[in-house]
Structures are given as structure tokens and as C-alpha cells.
Amino acid sequence: MKINKKNILYVLLLALALLSIVSMLLGPVFISPKYLFQSEILWQIRLPRIILSALVGIMLGISGVILQGILRNPLADPYILGVSAGAGVGAAVAMGAGLNFVFLGMSSIPILAFMFALGAVLIVYKLAQVKGETSTETLILAGIAVSAFSSAVLALIIIITGQLQSIYFWLLGSFSMASYTDIFTLLPYLLVGSIFAFFYSKELNALLLGEEMALTLGVDVEKVRLMMVIVASLMTAAAVSVSGLIGFVGLIVPHFVRLFLGPNHKMLVPTSALGGAILMMGADTLGRTLFSPIEVPIGVVMALVGSPFFLYVLRRRYKAKR
Amino acid sequence: MKALEVENLICGYKDKVVIKNLSFTVTAGEFVGIVGPNGSGKTTLLRTISGLLPLTMGEIRLEGGNFKNLTRNELAKTVAFVPQLMEPVEGFSVLDMVLLGRTPYVNRFSFESAEDIQVAKWAIKELQAEEFTDQDVTKLSGGEFQRVAIARALAQEPKILLLDEPISHLDLRYQVKILKLLRKLRQQRTIVATFHDLNMASRFCQKLMLLKKGEIIAYGYPDEVLTAENIWKAYRVKAQVKKNPRTKRASLVFLP
């Protein structure tokens, strides 16, 4: 079967639009389509939440694609590699230590989160590298170590500051506090990140052949790698600072896109962005309607779905190797 | 016209000099085979010309221009390198794989252009791999994939094509097929490749360079290079050289 690849983008956009309409209607209170646009609930609560979930989905989806590309490993994901946890520590430091200020018109939380996320990814990257190659095992183990350390630091921050409730719920990953301010906080990171990811997709493609072949294709491998690590950390950090720790988006979405469209980043980046938005929006709508009026945080929904999926991909990868 | 000039080249790895003061020139349109025992510096030489290893001393000129003045991207448009073993990219079709060769030309602000696709298809055709165009690269046999690997390099539209042991892991039928294709390609571009099989190299290359421990033992037409004396110098193996009556090329018989 041959799919016209560029049409896929339109199909995904349409799906996203339909899903957002469904999502606007659903919730603890069902809004009749007739009065939808007069409803305060829509404008004040649901709409910012829907938009935020889509933006976070885009950012986590692209971060996953980038990390998988530069590490040449389809199991890389900001959550599994401990980048999210690192960003979480940064954000919690900003919140807990009262470092929440505005610097040059930008909130300090994502900036601190970014610094810690970058630190985490660089540590994982260095630890996982054995003779210039990163193996799946070392990558995941390094991610576990960094995540565990970050969790401990987070627990310390919670204990010291006594802000158990607010930080803990934020950590679980949730869009329930979504506001338009969050959306404006995210936008610059999203724009810069996705533009860079798309414009550097030819380099990410060349890296599929390995470091040496990429060099002979004119790619400045060291520079591209560093730049892409920064872009992925930046987007993960921004997403974590508004919505907490949400895992597996960057793993699941690119995996399915590759299955249908192959690993060409020119397609992988935009389709994973849209796919991430659809997944996040859909999962969040499920989370807030399934056990209504009780709300399941999105981070919990994703972990419930994502962990088995991760094991499945891991297993398949080892089978394929034999 | 000179496609490649190497002058007093010294290069190798951080802790080990491999190429010791090498000088030679390759004329445009030649197919040069580099032969020599393991550790003679064949691969190191190719990797240095590809820009993968730094040159410690000396000079490399590509079509008269100094190698050092080229950016990585310009170098990628001049020299293409086919490594001894290239890994197929999971999920890529042959066309996708060959399109990677267009990296130095692809516009970063848009999708691959029609021209990029056209050149990739041309490269696939040159390597007689059209029947695989849409096939998954991981499903190809070694000989089929090697043609795709060379097509990928050809899609770079290089002036000089470098191949590291392009036939050493193939069966006889594919060895001959690849060499015939390369001989045909040389009409448009310069080819430098390393070989272990002296008879094959002698049969298909226009010129041979015999290396030992980073130095040239002989460089010239195959029957000048492959003499019993040179073989002894390079390999410490006794050989008898005959002229193949049909091809008129030097051919070796190794003596016990």
C-alpha cells in the first residue's frame, strides 16, 4: 500500500480538530453544542486545558523524535532518560525556594527546569556512551539512575519546604490547573523548538547512518548533536514546568509514525508533533471523563498505557536482534 | 586533468602514524585500486581523503583546490565515501536510503525537492537496482545492499568516489557485477577503491597502488605493479605472474 505522505499531515490536522470539538463538549458537565460558545466553562476551563494539552503533546512528541535521532535509539524518550525528572527538580527548586520571578519577561520556572534538564541529559549521554556508541542498556540504566536521584532530590525539596500537596500533584502530571498564562509561557519554547527540529531534520536523517557517514555527508555532527540536545531539553523543560511529569508521549508517538511513514525526519517531526497533540488531548479527555467527577491525572493515564508499551517495544527490539 | 593530488601526506590516529610521507596523483576518470597487506594504511588513506581523519602533515588537493579550504558541505559534494560495512536503516526503502546521499544539497527549509528525488533515482538506475527502489533495505541480500550503498554515494554527485573494500564480503558473482558497474561509472568520475583480491583488482582497475606500512611500493599499470618482486616485498609471499591471454591483464598464481 502506498500512502501519499503529505496527505497524512492533513488527515492528522483534521483528526486533531475533530477531537478538540469532542473534548470541548465532554466533562463533568456536558455542554450542549447549541450553547457551547456561550459557556463560561468552555472559555475559562476547558479551552485553555485543551490547548495546553495539545501544546505539551507537540513538545514531548518532538523531544522524543530528537532524542531518538541523536542517540540512534528508538527507546529514547525524555521521561525514560530522566530528562523530565531533571526538569522537575529545576522547576521544584524554583517553586520551593521561592525563586519564582520574571526575568526579561520570561518566567524563571522553565529556565531553571531547562538548566536541570540539560544537566540530566548530558549526564545520561556521557554515562551511556561506550566507545562512541550508545547501547540501549546503558541508556536506560543511566536514565533510571538520573531519575532516581532526581526523585530523591524532589522528595527532599518537598520535605524541606513542606509544600507536599502542591508539588506532589504537579509531579503526577496534570492539566487541571491549565490557564492562558501557561499557554503563553509555552509558546516561545514551542515555536523555537519545533522550527529548529524541522530545519535540522536533514542532519537528523544523516545521523541515521551513524556518526561517520553523517560527517562524510557534510554534517557537523558535534554541533548538531549539542544543538538538538539543547532544543529537546528546552521543550521538555517548558512542558514539565506547566504540566509536571508526563511520560512515554515521546516514545509512543514516533514509534507509530515510523511504522507507517518510515524514519525520514522531514515527515517524522511534523507528524509526531500532531500525533503528540492528539494523544495528549485524547488521553486527558479520557482522564477527566472516565471516572467523572473524579479526575485521573494525565501523568497517571500515560504511565498506565506507556509502561506496558515500553516493555513491548523493548522486547520486540531484542527479538529482532536475534 | 588531475582529480586528486596527495603530497607528502602523513596521517593516522592520535597515538599512531599510519601513512608515512605519501605522494601520488590520480587523473580524472581513472579507476585506481589500492592494494596491500593488512595494516598497510589503505583504509586510513581513504578515510583521510574523506575528511574523517585529520592530516598531520602534507597536502591534499582535489581538482587543484586545497582540501583544507573546503567546508564540510563542499567536501561532501566533492568526495563520497562507501565504508566497508554500512548498516541498513530500519524502515527505509532503497529510495529513502539513497536520498540520504542528497544531504549536502537538500534545502533545510522544505521537503526533498523533485530534483533530489530525480538524482537519487538516476543513481539507483546506474547501479541497476531499480527493481528494489521501493523495497525495505533490511530485506536485501549483501550484494544487493552493496549496490544501494554505492548508489547512495553516487547521489552525492561526487567528483571522486572512494570505496573501502567494496567486494570483500560478496560472493564471486556480485564481486564481478560490482566491479563491472564501477568500471562503467568511472567514465563520469574518478574512483579510488581498496581491494584484497589482487587478481580482481588487476582485472578491473586501470591503475594499482601497492602499499606497505604506509609507504608506496609501486604505483602504475597493473602489470607494472604486480611483479613477483613487488608481491614478495609487500606480502612476503612467492607468486608467479602470468598475463591472462584474454584480458591481457596481469594475473597471479601463488606458489607454495
Written as tens digits, the pLDDT of chain B (256 aa) is: 889 999 999 999 888 899 999 999 999 999 999 999 999 999 999 999 999 999 889 999 998 888 888 999 999 999 999 999 888 888 899 999 999 999 999 988 888 889 999 999 999 999 999 999 999 999 999 889 999 999 999 999 999 999 999 998 889 999 999 999 999 887 778 999 999 999 999 999 999 999 999 999 999 999 999 999 999 999 999 888 888 888 778 888 887 7
Chain B closest CA to A32's CA: distance in Å?
Answer: 42
Q: Are A271 and A7 a contacting pair, CB within 8 Å? A: no
Distances (CA, A) of A161 to A86, A154, A156, B246: 19, 11, 8, 89
Cα–Cα dist B7/B67, whole Å: 12
Determine the pLDDT at residue A158. Answer: 84
Q: How many domains does chain A have?
A: 1
Chain A closest CA to B101's CA: distance in Å?
Answer: 7
Give chain A's largest Cα–Cα span.
Answer: 63
CA A124 remoteness from chain centre: 17
Cβ pair B52:A212 closer than 8 A: yes
CA A91 remoteness from chain centre: 15
pLDDT digits (tens, 9 = 90+) for A275-300: 999 999 999 999 999 887 888 889 99
Range with the lowest mean pLDDT among A1-10, A203-212, A223-232, B96-105? Answer: A1-10
Question: Is there a domain that residue A219 lies in?
Answer: yes
Residues facing residue B59 across a β-bridge? B7
A5, A213, A319: best mutation site toward chain B, by most B Cβ within 10 Å?
A213
B44, B46, B72: best mutation site toward chain A, by most A Cβ within 10 Å?
B72
Determine the pLDDT at residue B64. Answer: 81
Cβ pair B71:A263 closer than 8 A: no
Q: How far apart are the first and last CA of chain A?
A: 28
CATH code for position A96: 1.10.3470.10
Q: Does A28 touch chain B (CB under 8 A)?
A: no
Q: Does A208 touch chain B (CB under 8 A)?
A: yes
Question: Is there a domain that residue A8 lies in?
Answer: no
Q: Does B92 touch chain A (CB under 8 A)?
A: yes
Nearest CA in chain A to B88: A209
Cβ pair A263:B91 closer than 8 A: yes
Query: Residue type at B116?
Result: D
Mean pLDDT over A147-171 rounds to 84
Quick one: cell of A120? Answer: 540530566
Taking contacts as CB-CB distances below 8 angstroms, the residues of chain A near B73 are: 218
Q: Does A137 touch chain B (CB under 8 A)?
A: no
Distances (CA, A) of B135 to A165, B139, B157: 55, 8, 23
Question: Is there a domain that residue A275 lies in?
Answer: yes
Quick one: cell of A99? Answer: 525563586
Question: Is there a domain that residue A193 lies in?
Answer: yes
Determine the pLDDT at residue A2. Answer: 46
Cβ pair B112:A266 closer than 8 A: yes
Domain that holds residue A309: 76-321
Nearest CA in chain B to A73: B90
Nearest Cα to Cα of residue A292 among A45, A31, A28: A28
Question: Is there a domain that residue A11 lies in?
Answer: no
Chain A closest CA to B143's CA: distance in Å?
Answer: 19
Question: Is there a domain that residue A144 lies in?
Answer: yes
pLDDT digits (tens, 9 = 90+) for A71-102: 888 888 899 899 999 999 998 888 777 666 66
| Confidence grade of residue A178 (pLDDT, cut at 50, 70, 90) | confident
Question: Is there a domain that residue A40 lies in?
Answer: no
Determine the pLDDT at residue B121. Answer: 95
Chain A closest CA to B116's CA: distance in Å?
Answer: 13
Q: Which of A212, A218, A266 sits opposite B76 (nearest CB)?
A: A218
pLDDT digits (tens, 9 = 90+) for A124-147: 888 887 776 667 788 888 999 999
Question: What percent of chain A is modeled with pLDDT above 90?
Answer: 48
Determine the pLDDT at residue A6. Answer: 74
- For chain B, domains (ranges, CATH) are 2-254 (3.40.50.300)
Cβ pair B72:A212 closer than 8 A: no
pLDDT digits (tens, 9 = 90+) for A244-262: 899 999 999 999 998 888 8
Question: Is there a domain that residue A5 lies in?
Answer: no
Distances (CA, A) of A192 to A52, A187, A238, B82, B170: 17, 9, 12, 36, 47
Residue B34 burial (C-beta neighbours within 10 Å; 0-12, 13-18, 19+): buried
Q: Does A72 touch chain B (CB under 8 A)?
A: no
Nearest CA in chain B to A215: B52
